[in-house]
Chain A
Amino acid sequence: MGESRIGTAGRDKPQDCLVTVDLERKRGINITLNSKMEKMFGEAIHKAVEDALKEVGVKAADVTVDDFGSLDFTIKARTKTAVARARGDENE
């Protein structure tokens, strides 16, 4: 298949976020967060990403989150979609 193991989901719009997941990584989860909300909600955002990854069975990944003031449910959703896209579970 030779697909790149990178997937992106979400939009650059208020209350949304852009999540990019790279499944190439061998071990551990690495999250890079770009958000104006980092000081206030940094830990919560990290946890949302980690929970989402766990729920879809990802143990190792590089994740970049560009956040525009999104709530946890949005972060989780975008992360899960990005993972599915990285895995190649594409839409037709």
Chain B
Amino acid sequence: MASQRGAKPARRRLAPTAHQTVGPFFPAQFIRPTDNDLAGLSGGRARADGEPCVIFGHVRDAFDRPGVNVILEIWQANAAGRFNHPRDRGPAPLDPNFSGWGRTWTDRDGAYQFITIKPGAYRAGARSNRWFAPRINLTLVGSGLMRPLVTAIYFPGEALNDEDPQLAAIGSTAARRQLIATLDDAPNDAHHVPAYRFDIRLGGKQATPFLED
């Protein structure tokens, strides 16, 4: 490299490492059985504050076939709207029993399930009056996905949905509606908590609205 002797090295920006597909062989041992239970309903640790709920659905591909072996990761605020991270300096309280992160993968039918706490709305910044509606941030990786797919799960009936900056940026009403989970009145599992269905389509005309990464 042609650098001048004694000259102060210029601060160079490093390019982010390129993504590659996670492939079909992600070790099962890396996903612990309780990683999909952020609320602590499965036992083994203290329950988180707030309204527990189930988020469930199917992942399907562009040809309506089950999205098998897709890894889903979620990240969300706690019931009070606070993210468990030092960069969130908002006034809402932290919950020592809520990490905000979870992970699971789809089974042979493409089905997945999380048990979590309905997140609170959160402000754009500590001194901002601009609000984001309650939502669960979702990242998908899997075989055939060369880059992670990113989107968010919203809740039905939230007044803030109409003002949410991300939903507003989606533009199309039909696409916005695809990001809002539906309350499922069928009896769900043994937890007896509200269950929200959020089906995911990876490709085709009916694809879930995924966000630029």
Do the two shown chains form a genuine complex with each other? Answer: no
Residues of A that sit less than 8 Å from B by CB = none
Interface residues of B (CB under 8 A from A): none
